[in-house]
């Protein structure tokens, strides 16, 4: 499980997720956060799944994820093979359900992306059969299936093109390189044309070169035709040899075939065919007819109810019981009572053996016919593909002997090529040494010229020689002929022969050293292989030991944790035991003051105080219950008295206000009378 979590955290911290988790933070995620992480991974596989699960109902989230996992062909592991339990764990964001899904998804993200993309187009719509009776719907569904098949073919072609190794960038680079080569060739052609135009009779020479090229192409085509004719001749010879071998086999078979053996073989075939026609095939035909009749009878009968099925089951049980009784009776009966029982048994055994052998013979014949057809088909396929006939064992042996001879020749040629390459390396090294000496002599010459006060004399002399050489070459170009070229080739060949003869002793000395080098190289390869195997073994042992050390360290850590935990428990128990011993000492003590300090006495005192307090509270409760009714009536009476006094107050205030109003009116009337 820890490896699984490490893999999940490592993948989630990479592109494109960038979650920045560690083992602790990932393991402490809430169910909703874990579901959101799973949804982010599914959104990377299928962009339609990019939804915030807080804005979606849990059932819809589970249904959406369950559908996508079904399309991706995910199979639940562990104890969640049941669909209902798996769905419940997915809804609640259970870690035992989510972690295996994340591990499975992150292992194969590119593959699942491709599968989700294809499922978008290849998962067919489920149209009920009753709707397909409509012509329009049926035609539309047929077009839909054709489009799905077309998408499959196009997708396969696209994958083949992607896997073919060609890319647009490579093709563009090739085109650019070809364009550059084309420009370079055009420039070279222009330079050569300008150079040739200065030569007399250049048109004639160009025409001759063109004819030479045509003749070379014709020579190549003729060589190709010659090789094809050689191959055809070789194939015809092989076909002739096979035909001769077949003719020889047929002649041997005809020479060995006697009339008696032919008659015997024909009689055996006739007996076998008559047995198949008169005994085996009629029985099989009758059995098939009975089976078809029984199936037709079953198909024609109406559907049975539960009661009829129960009756049939009862009848089957009765028949099975009767069968068992008959078998017991037969087993109990003495075979000596029936004189023909032994012969009947032997006849039945022989008949069964006969049927078995006939079936084996028929199967062998069918297998032989199938193998013959397969052989003919493969022979025709081989002829059609490469035009090569299938060779026999003796022809293959001759071919192997021929290839061995060619292999020996190839090894000799390869050795000669290696010697020539070594000689070429020696010549290159000689040329380099001569160039270095020439450079040193030039520097020495320049130093001497500087000392004598004639600096640049050699360069001027070389320039004059070069100019004169160029002039002589230009003069010779006009009158040069093929004889001069052949003479130059002869000189070069003679120079090469001289160099070879000069270098042959050195090459002879190098041959044993080369052989020794090859032997040392073989020994080095062998030792290196031994070293690699030993290193691989040691590496595997080291990894095993590291795994064991890691396991032992984990066990040590667990045992240390357990040790500290047990020590803590031990200390707690010791403290509890000490307290119990102190309590016993105090409890057993004869001093009453000391006994009062014991926990038991304190608890008893607290219990007594709580009991007395509870008793007082119960008495108060009883008094409250008894005085509750009168007190409530008294409260109501006080409320009524308060209302009555308030009413009297209002009446008094009203009377006072009326008296003051009358006095004012009276005073105003008197004032009027005075006036």
Torsion of CA 378, 380, 385, 387, to 10 degrees: 120
Give me the count of residues in the chain: 675
**Residue of 558, 559, 562 lying closest to 570 (CA atoms):** 562
What is the predicted pLDDT for the residue at 515? Answer: 79
User: What string of H, E and C letters represents the secondary structure of 515-546?
Assistant: HHHHHHHHHHHHHHHHHHHHHHHHHHHHHHHH
Phi and psi at 167, nearest 5°, equal: -140, 155
- Is pLDDT of 565 > 50? yes
Distance CA 142, CA 263 (A): 63
Largest Cα–Cα separation, the chain: 186
What would the two tokens of residue 140 be?
């539309």
Least confident of 25-34, 245-254, 264-273, 458-467: 458-467
What is the predicted pLDDT for the residue at 647? Answer: 92
State the average pLDDT over residues 287-313: 74
CB of 95 within 8 A of CB of 1?
no
CB of 241 within 8 A of CB of 395?
yes
- Is pLDDT of 81 > 60? no
Q: CA-CA distances (angstroms) from residue 509 to 424, 425, 501, 514, 567?
A: 16, 15, 14, 9, 84
Highest mean pLDDT out of 184-198, 344-358, 382-396: 184-198
CB of 12 within 8 A of CB of 21?
yes
For 407-420, write each residue's pLDDT tens digit.
888 888 888 888 88
Interhelix angle for 83-92 vs 58-71, to 10°?
Answer: 120
What is the predicted pLDDT for the residue at 385? Answer: 59
- Is pLDDT of 672 > 50? no
CB atoms within 10 A of CB 9: 19
- Is pLDDT of 387 > 60? no
Distance CA 464, CA 375 (A): 82
For 245-282, write each residue's pLDDT tens digit.
778 777 766 665 567 776 777 787 787 778 778 877 88
What is the predicted pLDDT for the residue at 451? Answer: 74
Residues 6+ apart with CB under 8 A from 272: 358, 361
State the average pLDDT over residues 324-349: 62
Highest mean pLDDT out of 176-180, 305-309, 317-321: 176-180
Distance CA 438, CA 456 (A): 17
- Is pLDDT of 396 > 80? no
Q: What is the mean pLDDT of the chain?
A: 77
CB of 566 within 8 A of CB of 572?
no
| Residue 63, CB-side half-sphere exposure with 13 Å CA sphere | 5
State the average pLDDT over residues 31-53: 81
Torsion of CA 361, 365, 367, 370, to 10 degrees: -170
State the average pLDDT over residues 10-28: 80
% of the chain residues with pLDDT over 70: 80
For 537-559, write each residue's pLDDT tens digit.
888 788 888 888 888 988 898 89
Confidence of residue 645 (pLDDT cuts 50, 70, 90): very high
What would the two tokens of residue 445 be?
């010459």
Confidence of residue 613 (pLDDT cuts 50, 70, 90): very high
What is the predicted pLDDT for the residue at 670? Answer: 53
CATH 1.10.418.70 domain residues, the chain:
2-123
What is the predicted pLDDT for the residue at 367? Answer: 83
Domain range 2-123, its CATH number among 1.10.287.310, 1.10.418.70, 1.20.120.160, 3.40.50.720? 1.10.418.70
Distance CA 627, CA 611 (A): 24
State the average pLDDT over residues 606-611: 89
User: What string of H, E and C letters represents the secondary structure of 93-104?
Assistant: CCHHHHHHHHHH
- Is pLDDT of 85 > 80? no
What is the predicted pLDDT for the residue at 463? Answer: 66
- Is pLDDT of 111 > 60? yes
Confidence of residue 638 (pLDDT cuts 50, 70, 90): very high
What would the two tokens of residue 497 be?
């022969």
Distance CA 45, CA 117 (A): 9
Name which residue leads in pLDDT, 221 or 280: 221
What is the predicted pLDDT for the residue at 673? Answer: 42
| Residue 550, CB-side half-sphere exposure with 13 Å CA sphere | 6
Torsion of CA 251, 255, 260, 262, to 10 degrees: -10
Cis previous bond, 363, omega within 30 = no
| In the block, residue with structure tokens 């307290």 | 579
- Is pLDDT of 213 > 80? yes
% of the chain residues with pLDDT over 90: 3
From the centroid of its chain, how far is CA 371? 37
Confidence of residue 637 (pLDDT cuts 50, 70, 90): very high
**DSSP of 338-407:** -TTHHHHHHHHHHHHHHHHHHHHHHHHHHHHHHHHHHHHHHHHHHHHHH--PPP-HHHHHHHHHHHHHHH
Residues 6+ apart with CB under 8 A from 39: 49, 51, 53, 61, 65
What would the two tokens of residue 179 be?
């364009």
Name which residue leads in pLDDT, 442 or 674: 442
What is the predicted pLDDT for the residue at 617? Answer: 92
- Is pLDDT of 224 > 70? yes
- Is pLDDT of 395 > 80? no
What is the predicted pLDDT for the residue at 336? Answer: 46
**Residue of 580, 604, 601, 578 lying closest to 591 (CA atoms):** 601
SS3 content of the chain, % helix, strand, coil (to 5): 90, 0, 10
What is the predicted pLDDT for the residue at 467? Answer: 63
For 121-153, write each residue's pLDDT tens digit.
777 777 777 777 777 777 888 888 888 888 888
Least confident of 47-56, 99-108, 367-376, 498-507: 498-507
Distance CA 616, CA 623 (A): 11
What is the predicted pLDDT for the residue at 460? Answer: 63
Name which residue leads in pLDDT, 663 or 613: 613
Name which residue leads in pLDDT, 388 or 617: 617
Distance CA 264, CA 325 (A): 50
- Is pLDDT of 308 > 80? no
- Is pLDDT of 184 > 70? yes
Distance CA 604, CA 224 (A): 123
Name which residue leads in pLDDT, 303 or 230: 230
């Amino acid at each position: 499980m820890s490896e699984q979590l490490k893999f999940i955290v490592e993948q989630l911290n990479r592109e494109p997720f960038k979650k920045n988790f560690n083992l602790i933070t990932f393991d402490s995620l809430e169910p909703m956060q874990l579901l959101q992480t799973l949804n982010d991974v599914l959104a990377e596989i299928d962009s339609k799944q990019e939804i915030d699960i807080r804005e979606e109902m849990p059932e819809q989230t589970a249904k959406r994820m369950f559908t996508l996992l079904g399309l991706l062909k995910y199979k639940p592991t562990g104890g969640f093979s049941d669909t209902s339990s798996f769905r419940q764990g997915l809804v609640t964001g259970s870690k035992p359900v989510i972690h295996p899904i994340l591990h499975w998804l992150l292992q194969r993200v590119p593959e699942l992306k491709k599968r989700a993309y294809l499922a978008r187009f290849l998962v067919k719509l489920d149209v009920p059969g009753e709707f397909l009776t409509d012509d329009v719907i049926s035609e539309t569904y047929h077009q839909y299936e054709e489009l799905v098949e077309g998408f499959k073919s196009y997708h396969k072609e696209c994958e083949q093109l992607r896997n073919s190794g060609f890319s647009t960038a490579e093709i563009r680079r090739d085109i650019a390189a070809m364009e550059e080569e084309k420009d370079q060739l055009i420039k070279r052609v222009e330079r050569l044309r300008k150079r040739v135009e200065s030569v007399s009779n250049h048109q004639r020479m160009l025409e001759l070169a063109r004819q030479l090229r045509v003749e070379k192409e014709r020579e190549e085509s003729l060589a190709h035709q010659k090789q094809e004719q050689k191959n055809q001749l070789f194939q015809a010879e092989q076909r002739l040899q096979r035909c001769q071998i077949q003719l020889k086999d047929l002649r041997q078979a005809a020479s060995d075939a006697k009339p008696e053996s032919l008659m015997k073989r024909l009689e055996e075939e006739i007996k076998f065919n008559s047995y198949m026609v008169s005994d085996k095939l009629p029985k099989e035909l009758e059995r098939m007819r009975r089976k078809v009749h029984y199936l037709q009878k079953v198909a024609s009968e109406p559907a049975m109810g539960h009661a009829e099925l129960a009756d049939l089951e009862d009848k089957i049980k009765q028949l099975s019981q009767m069968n068992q009784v008959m078998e017991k009776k037969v087993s109990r009966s003495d075979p000596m009572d029936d004189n023909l029982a032994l012969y009947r048994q032997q006849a039945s055994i022989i008949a069964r053996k006969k049927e078995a052998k006939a079936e084996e013979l028929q199967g062998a014949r069918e297998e032989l016919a199938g193998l013959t057809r397969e052989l003919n088909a493969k022979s025709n396929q081989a002829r059609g593909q490469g035009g090569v006939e299938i060779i026999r064992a003796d022809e293959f042996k001759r071919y192997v002997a021929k290839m061995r001879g060619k292999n020996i020749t190839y090894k000799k040629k390869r050795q000669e090529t290696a010697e020539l390459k070594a000689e070429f390396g020696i010549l290159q090294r000689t040329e380099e040494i001569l160039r270095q000496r020439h450079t040193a002599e030039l520097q020495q010459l320049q130093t001497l010229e500087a000392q004598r006060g004639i600096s640049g004399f050699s360069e001027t002399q070389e320039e004059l020689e070069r100019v004169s050489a160029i002039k002589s070459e230009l003069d010779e170009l006009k009158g040069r002929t093929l004889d001069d070229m052949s003479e130059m080739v002869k000189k070069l060949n003679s120079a090469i022969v001289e160099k070879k003869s000069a270098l042959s002793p050195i090459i002879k000395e190098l041959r044993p050293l080369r052989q020794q080098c090859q032997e040392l190289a073989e020994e080095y390869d062998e030792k290196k292989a031994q070293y690699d195997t030993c290193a691989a073994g040691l590496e595997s042992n080291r990894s095993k030991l590291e795994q064991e050390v890691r396991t032992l360290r984990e066990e040590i850590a667990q045992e240390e944790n357990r040790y500290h935990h047990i020590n803590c428990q031990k200390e707690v128990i010791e403290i509890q035991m000490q307290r119990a011993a102190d309590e016993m000492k105090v409890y057993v003590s004869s001093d009453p003051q000391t006994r009062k300090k014991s926990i038991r006495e304190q608890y008893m005192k607290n219990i007594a105080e709580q009991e007395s307090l509870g008793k007082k509270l119960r008495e108060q409760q009883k008094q409250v219950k008894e005085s509750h009714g009168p007190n409530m009536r008294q409260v109501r009476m006080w409320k009524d008295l308060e209302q009555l006094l308030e009413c009297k107050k209002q009446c008094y205030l009203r009377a006072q206000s009326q008296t003051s109003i009358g006095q004012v009116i009276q005073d105003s009337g008197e004032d009027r009378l005075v006036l």
